């Protein structure tokens, strides 16, 4: 017991030292496609096979998708618990805010990409259900002098035309499996479908969905611009693209606290709760590699979206980008 604890402490200290070194390196060499201890490989390979970042490592692009798949395969079981532990439950508020800004109308179709365990879809169905209830109540309330016969006649007319549904799309089957189990345990039977698909190449036809969301998933995509173009393709005219993602903290004091928390606490939590240090190390590093709010807004505009805006939550820890296909 003591030996294993000592081993754990030694691993923690070794890995945290490596973190500090690699963060120092990467921060000094930030702009550019490859940085970190493997930069020599980048210079020699630049001509032939393209490299990208996997956390603070540099890997060939073809490999990144595979490694991301493995990461999420490993964390799938404990994904929700880890989310609660790492963000102290605040991720629920972020997702609630996403729904609040989205304000979906009854009858809308949602595509939840990288939806994994289905957090956004469950909230979406809930929101739309409550909207419909409120509308029904309002319609009935304004006609209080109706007889019971008229009221009962009104009921079937309401439901038929507008059925909102949500499609959860994820590249990782394990995450979808966990999501399906959650849906079954919550008793949700209709309005949800689970599809395996790659965000860079969605298995859907054009002009299908009213709303496209990708929550905490787009930083794992190898070619973000392709994912944005796919989003543009599958949205109906007038459809909305919404992306919830970790972003740059503007306040310097908060930034230091956040960095310390990310690199010191989160991988430890990963090791203790999920038994997987490396995956959570990757998670934290991938956040640092993601473009900041303004740059990502530019990328969204490049894909063709209009009226692009972003909202910062928790001081910039999380940003919600929204664009319209008009």
Partner 1 sequence: MAALLRGLRAGRLLRGLSGVVTAPTSTVPQCRSLRRGFHRAALRLQDESKSDKSSSSSSSSTSTHREQYQAHSAEQDTEAASQQDSDPNSSEQDQDEEYETEEQLQARILTAALEFVQLHGWSMEAIAAGAESLGLSSASTGMFYNGAGDLVLHFISQCNAKLTEILAEQHNQVQLGQAERKKTADFLRDAVETRLRMYIPYIETWPQAMSILLLPHNIPDSLKHLSTMVDDIWYYAGDRSTDMNWYTKRAVLTGLYNTTELVMLQDSSPDFQDTWTFLDNRIQDVVNMATTAKQMQSTGEAVAQGLMGAAVTLKNLTGLNQRR
- The Cα–Cα gap between 82 and 270 comes to 7
Asked whether position 233 contacts partner 1 by CB under 8 A, the answer is yes
- Is 204 within 8 Å of 234 (Cβ atoms)? yes
What minimum distance in Å lies between the beta carbon of 135 and partner 1?
A: 7
Asked whether position 97 contacts partner 1 by CB under 8 A, the answer is no
Asked whether position 159 contacts partner 1 by CB under 8 A, the answer is no
Tell me which of 135, 165, 264, 314 binds partner 1, using CB under 8 A.
Answer: 135
Asked whether position 243 contacts partner 1 by CB under 8 A, the answer is no
DSSP characters over 61-115: HHHHHHHHHHHHHHHTTTHHHHHHHHHTTHHHHHHHHHHHHH-PPTT-EEEEET-
* Residues 255-314, interacting with partner 1 (CB under 8 A): 298, 301-302, 304, 306-307
Asked whether position 191 contacts partner 1 by CB under 8 A, the answer is no
What are the structure tokens assigned to 210, written together? 């009213």
- The Cα–Cα gap between 181 and 184 comes to 5
Asked whether position 201 contacts partner 1 by CB under 8 A, the answer is yes
Pick from 303, 304, 310: nearest CA to 326: 304
What are the structure tokens assigned to 5, written together? 């604890």
Pick from 220, 211, 203, 221: nearest CA to 241: 211
Asked whether position 238 contacts partner 1 by CB under 8 A, the answer is yes
Cβ proximity to partner 1, 217 vs 323, nearer residue: 323
What minimum distance in Å lies between the beta carbon of 106 and partner 1?
A: 8
State the residues that interact with partner 1 by CB under 8 A. 101-105, 107-108, 135, 197-198, 201-207, 210-211, 226, 229-230, 232-233, 235-240, 298, 301-302, 304, 306-307, 322, 324-326
């Amino acid at each position: 017991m003591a030996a294993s604890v000592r081993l754990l402490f030694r691993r923690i200290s070794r890995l945290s030292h490596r973190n500090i070194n690699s963060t120092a390196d990467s921060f000094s060499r930030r702009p550019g496609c490859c940085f970190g201890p493997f930069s020599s490989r980048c210079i020699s390979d630049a001509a032939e096979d393209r490299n990208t970042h996997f956390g603070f490592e540099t890997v060939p692009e073809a490999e990144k998708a595979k490694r991301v798949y493995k990461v999420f395969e490993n964390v799938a079981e404990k994904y929700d618990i880890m989310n609660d532990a790492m963000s102290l439950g605040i991720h629920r508020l972020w997702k609630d805010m996403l729904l609040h800004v989205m304000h979906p109308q009854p009858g809308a179709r949602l595509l939840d990409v990288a939806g994994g365990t289905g957090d956004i879809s469950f909230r979406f169905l809930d929101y739309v259900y409550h909207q419909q209830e409120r509308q029904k109540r309002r319609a009935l309330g304004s006609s209080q002098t109706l007889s019971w016969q008229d009221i009962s006649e009104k009921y079937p007319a309401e439901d038929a035309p507008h059925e909102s549904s949500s499609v959860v799309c994820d590249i990782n089957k394990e995450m979808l499996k966990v999501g399906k189990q959650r849906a079954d345990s919550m008793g949700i039977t209709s309005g949800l479908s689970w599809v395996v698909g790659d965000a860079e190449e969605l298995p859907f036809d054009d002009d299908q969905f009213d709303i496209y969301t990708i929550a905490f998933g787009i930083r794992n995509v190898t070619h973000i611009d392709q994912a944005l173009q796919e989003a543009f393709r599958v949205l109906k005219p007038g459809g909305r693209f919404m992306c919830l993602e970790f972003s740059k903290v503007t306040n310097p004091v908060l930034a230091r606290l956040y960095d310390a928390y990310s690199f010191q606490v989160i991988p430890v939590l990963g090791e203790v709760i999920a038994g997987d240090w490396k995956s959570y190390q990757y998670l934290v590093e991938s956040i640092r590699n993601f473009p900041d709010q303004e740059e990502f807004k530019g990328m969204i505009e490049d894909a063709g979206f209009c009226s692009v805006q972003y909202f910062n939550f928790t001081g910039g820890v999380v940003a919600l980008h929204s664009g319209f296909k008009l």
